[in-house]
């Protein structure tokens, strides 16, 4: 008897849009595109956030969205940095600066062991464990060595091969969380070659390539907890490449194959190595890898380009996914009609406003409001009075202008904008300028203004106020006294960062404070000190950009992002904006940096830049029929 399937065939979903959520292997008929489609994995490398410290021969651990790099060379360093999938933030250093070490584990439970510290093939035997905050000395290897490989976890790791001085070894040691033991399970081919040539677990490992002491090797071996077994070789002999994945599915990228850093990538399916169609863009060797990554989603970073030679900060992320990822960056927006600096801002990159500020050299401070629709700027209703260094928060149709100055008069006024005109709102208890503000017209917080003018800012405070939609009341003071700080988020989940302290010329700040509606709590510092910059987003997804630092007035292009715990790098602005004060609200996918002077030419900056965060779109592939 015939079955339904034999008579009718397999059913395929008839959809007007992609399946949501999608799963790899989904097949459907796209009625809008008149095509049969499927979610098919695409192999591709894309750029990630740059390291703060260029280096090669570093250790790596973790995943593409929670990575870790530690140590490294040129010069020999102890630096440790954490990756959140977008940028790197500084962590606490290794106790022993070193490079060419073994590595294992995750961002919150990592292991570093062995390596070279003196720069002449010396043999380190120390191991250190990382708990997500700091490195702690652990038990020593049985055999000190350099250029060894590692894999596994912080409590079940392998230290494989390496060199004792310049002699390649076959030794395999196992770490059980308390001590290192020589397993007696020797590699078939003695080799060193750097830290990132092994992957897997302590009972299911893969050791690939390396340096035998006389030549690069293409040899690949598998470990089952008892012995090493020969596998099929790499297509190209190489050492010092980045590897992640498992014994049955691994990716090996770049490395030192001949005289230059390779861009070639090979993939392992548990049986043989094949050249991947996706190569890295930055040829290099000695990179660190996110060793705990699966083979479909990994990351390599740092390294050295032997052609130049130059140590690198470059991070590249690997995805074998049906998602097409568009990386975050800045783009040009509409030109601001007049030059402005030091005003307030509110809203988003498609519905924003800037108000007040200074139009130098003439007419000076202004009462102007300019509205932005995502394309161009148009005039809005004027503020009741000319003002500069006022703080702004809210949206285009519900914005607050808080305090400010019209030299030499300090302003206590708060004004509310409804999208067409400004009205008086409750005055600040004390007239001041340069406050950081967060929130909306019905629930805001503002802090850290100054009641005086001049860079010494003797009137700088740590005072904080809460706004309920009609009046301001004193709140708990911030932890750091400063002004010209920037804020983003809400009145109950807000962030204030940067600024400068009073004193002889002022000292610039990188301090971060979080506000919960009642009190300010110190967070981890931004990656740089600055004041007079833009900021936007939420407590767990915010960015800060541009501004000025002690090198002012060259101005800053730097953008950093905050994830609620740490700051990390983001794509830089194209042109300099400082003292702009023009920032938006909402998510980091949705704001603008408008106006503000560019370094060296404070009268001539009318540029706007728009930021878009990373976007991942599930994209179906069309199935063709021959």
Partner 1 sequence: MAIFIYGTVNNTGKNFFTHEDRRNFFLRGYTGHDGSNYVDTWVIGNNEKGALWLAEKNGTEKTKSEAQTLVSAAVTLAQTAWTNNNVDGESADEKVARIGSKPGAITIP
Which residues in this chain contact partner 1 in the complex, by CB under 8 A?
Answer: 47, 326-327, 329-335, 341, 358, 360-361, 375-376, 407-408, 453-456, 551-554, 557, 571, 574-575, 579, 597-605, 607-608, 612
> DSSP readout, 356-397?
--EETTTTEEB--EEEE-SS-EEE-PPPSS-BBS-EEEEETT
The residues, ordered by sequence, that sit 6+ positions from 485 with a Cβ below 8 Å of its Cβ are 434, 436, 447, 448, 496, 497, 498, 499, 509, 531
> Starting from the edge strand earliest in sequence, which strands make up the sheet with 288-289, in order?
42-47, 315-321, 297-301, 288-289
The residues with which 270 forms a beta bridge, in sequence order, are none
Closer by beta carbon to partner 1, 204 or else 376? 376
Closer by beta carbon to partner 1, 425 or else 436? 436
Residue 454's CB is within 10 A of a number of other CB atoms, namely 11
CB of 608 to partner 1, least distance (A): 7
> DSSP readout, 541-577?
EEEEE--B-TTTTS----EEEE-SS-EEEEPPPSS--
Distance between CA atoms of 620 and 41, rounded to whole angstroms? 9
Residue 382's CB is within 10 A of a number of other CB atoms, namely 15
CB of 329 to partner 1, least distance (A): 4
CB of 570 to partner 1, least distance (A): 12
Of the candidates 608, 462, 568, 476, the one whose C-alpha atom is nearest the C-alpha of residue 90 is: 568
What does the chain come to in residues?
626
Query: What 3-state DSSP class applies to 323?
Result: strand
Evaluate whether 494 touches 488 at the Cβ level (below 8 Å): yes
CB of 336 to partner 1, least distance (A): 9
Distance between CA atoms of 171 and 162, rounded to whole angstroms? 8
Distance between CA atoms of 124 and 5, rounded to whole angstroms? 65
Distance between CA atoms of 32 and 552, rounded to whole angstroms? 54
CB of 315 to partner 1, least distance (A): 15
CB of 558 to partner 1, least distance (A): 12
Distance between CA atoms of 370 and 351, rounded to whole angstroms? 11
Closer by beta carbon to partner 1, 16 or else 616? 616
CB of 206 to partner 1, least distance (A): 34
Closer by beta carbon to partner 1, 470 or else 574? 574
Q: Which two tokens stand for residue 612?
A: 């878009």
Evaluate whether 72 touches 285 at the Cβ level (below 8 Å): no
Closer by beta carbon to partner 1, 245 or else 571? 571
Please return the burial class of 310, using the count of CB atoms within 10 Å of its CB with bins 0-12, 13-18 and 19+. middle
CB of 602 to partner 1, least distance (A): 6
Residue 44's CB is within 10 A of a number of other CB atoms, namely 16
Of the candidates 153, 147, 139, 151, the one whose C-alpha atom is nearest the C-alpha of residue 107 is: 153
Closer by beta carbon to partner 1, 167 or else 604? 604
Closer by beta carbon to partner 1, 50 or else 194? 50
CB of 413 to partner 1, least distance (A): 19
CB of 121 to partner 1, least distance (A): 34
CB of 593 to partner 1, least distance (A): 13
Closer by beta carbon to partner 1, 226 or else 554? 554
Query: What 3-state DSSP class applies to 7?
Result: helix
Closer by beta carbon to partner 1, 264 or else 484? 484
Closer by beta carbon to partner 1, 47 or else 420? 47
CB of 363 to partner 1, least distance (A): 13
Closer by beta carbon to partner 1, 381 or else 502? 502
Of the candidates 143, 156, 270, 243, the one whose C-alpha atom is nearest the C-alpha of residue 203 is: 156
Closer by beta carbon to partner 1, 71 or else 594? 594
Closer by beta carbon to partner 1, 29 or else 552? 552
Closer by beta carbon to partner 1, 104 or else 605? 605
The residues with which 394 forms a beta bridge, in sequence order, are 399
CB of 85 to partner 1, least distance (A): 17
Distance between CA atoms of 292 and 296, rounded to whole angstroms? 12
Beta strands per DSSP E along 468-527: 472-474, 486-489, 494-497, 500-501, 507-508, 512-515, 520-523
CB of 360 to partner 1, least distance (A): 5
Closer by beta carbon to partner 1, 174 or else 366? 366
CB of 615 to partner 1, least distance (A): 10
CA distances from 501 to 112, 297, 457, 504 (A): 39, 44, 8, 9
Handedness of CA 86, 90, 94, 96 (dihedral sign): positive
């Amino acid at each position: 008897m015939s079955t339904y399937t034999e008579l009718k065939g397999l059913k395929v979903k008839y959809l007007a849009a992609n399946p949501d959520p999608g799963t790899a292997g989904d097949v459907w008929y796209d009625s809008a595109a008149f095509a049969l489609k499927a979610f098919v994995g695409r192999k591709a490398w894309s750029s990630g956030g740059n390291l703060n410290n260029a280096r090669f021969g570093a250790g790596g651990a973790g995943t593409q969205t929670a990575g870790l790099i530690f140590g490294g060379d040129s010069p020999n360093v102890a630096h440790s940095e954490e990756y959140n999938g977008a940028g790197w933030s500084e962590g606490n250093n290794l106790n022993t600066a070193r490079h060419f070490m073994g590595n294992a584990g995750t961002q919150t439970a990592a292991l570093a062991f062995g390596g070279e510290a003196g720069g002449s093939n010396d043999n380190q035997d120390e191991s250190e464990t990382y708990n997500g905050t700091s490195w702690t000395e652990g038990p020593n290897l049985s055999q000190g060595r350099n250029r060894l490989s590692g894999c596994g976890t912080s409590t079940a790791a392998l230290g494989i091969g390496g060199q004792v001085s310049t002699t390649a070894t076959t030794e395999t040691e196992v770490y059980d969380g308390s001590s290192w033991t020589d397993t007696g399970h020797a590699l078939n081919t003695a080799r060193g070659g750097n830290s990132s040539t092994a992957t897997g677990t302590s009972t299911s490992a893969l050791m690939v390539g390396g340096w035998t002491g006389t030549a690069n090797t293409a040899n690949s071996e598998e470990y089952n907890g008892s012995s090493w077994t020969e596998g099929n070789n790499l297509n190209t002999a190489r050492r010092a490449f980045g590897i992640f994945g498992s014994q049955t599915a691994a990716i090996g990228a770049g490395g030192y194959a001949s005289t230059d850093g390779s861009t070639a990538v090979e993939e392992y399916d548990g049986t043989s190595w094949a050249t991947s169609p996706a190569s890295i863009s930055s040829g290099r060797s000695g990179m660190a890898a996110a060793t705990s990554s699966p083979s479909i989603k990994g990351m390599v970073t740092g390294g050295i380009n032997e052609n130049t030679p130059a140590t690198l900060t470059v991070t590249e992320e690997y995805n074998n996914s049906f998602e097409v990822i568009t990386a975050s960056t800045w783009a040009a927006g509409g030109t601001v009609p007049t030059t402005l600096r030091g005003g307030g801002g509110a809203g988003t990159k498609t519905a924003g406003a800037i108000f007040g500020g200074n139009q130098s050299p003439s007419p000076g401070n202004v009462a102007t409001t300019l509205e932005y629709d995502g394309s161009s700027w148009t005039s809005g209703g004027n503020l009741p009075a000319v003002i500069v260094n006022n703080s702004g928060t809210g949206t285009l149709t519900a914005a607050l202008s808080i305090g400010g100055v019209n030299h030499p008069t300090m302003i206590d006024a708060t004004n509310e904008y409804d999208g067409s005109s400004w009205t008086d709102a409750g005055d600040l208890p004390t007239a001041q300028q340069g406050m950081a503000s967060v929130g909306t017209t019905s629930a805001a917080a503002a802090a850290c203004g100054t009641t005086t003018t001049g860079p010494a800012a003797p009137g700088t405070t740590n005072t904080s106020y809460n706004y309920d939609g009609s009046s301001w009341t004193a709140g708990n003071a911030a932890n750091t006294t400063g002004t010209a700080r920037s804020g983003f988020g809400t009145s109950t989940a807000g962030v204030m960062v940067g600024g400068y302290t009073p004193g002889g010329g002022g000292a610039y700040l990188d301090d971060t404070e979080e506000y919960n509606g009642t009190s300010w709590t110190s967070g981890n510092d931004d990656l740089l000190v600055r004041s007079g910059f833009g900021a936007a987003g939420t407590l767990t997804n915010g960015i800060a950009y541009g501004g000025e630092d002690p090198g002012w007035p060259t101005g800053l292009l730097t953008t950093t992002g905050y994830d609620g715990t740490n700051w990390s790098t983001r794509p830089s602005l194209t042109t300099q904006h400082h003292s702009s004060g023009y920032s938006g609200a909402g998510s980091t996918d949705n704001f603008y940096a408008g106006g503000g002077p560019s370094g060296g030419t404070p009268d001539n900056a009318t540029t706007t830049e728009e930021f878009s965060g990373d976007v991942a779109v599930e994209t179906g592939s069309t199935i063709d029929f021959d």
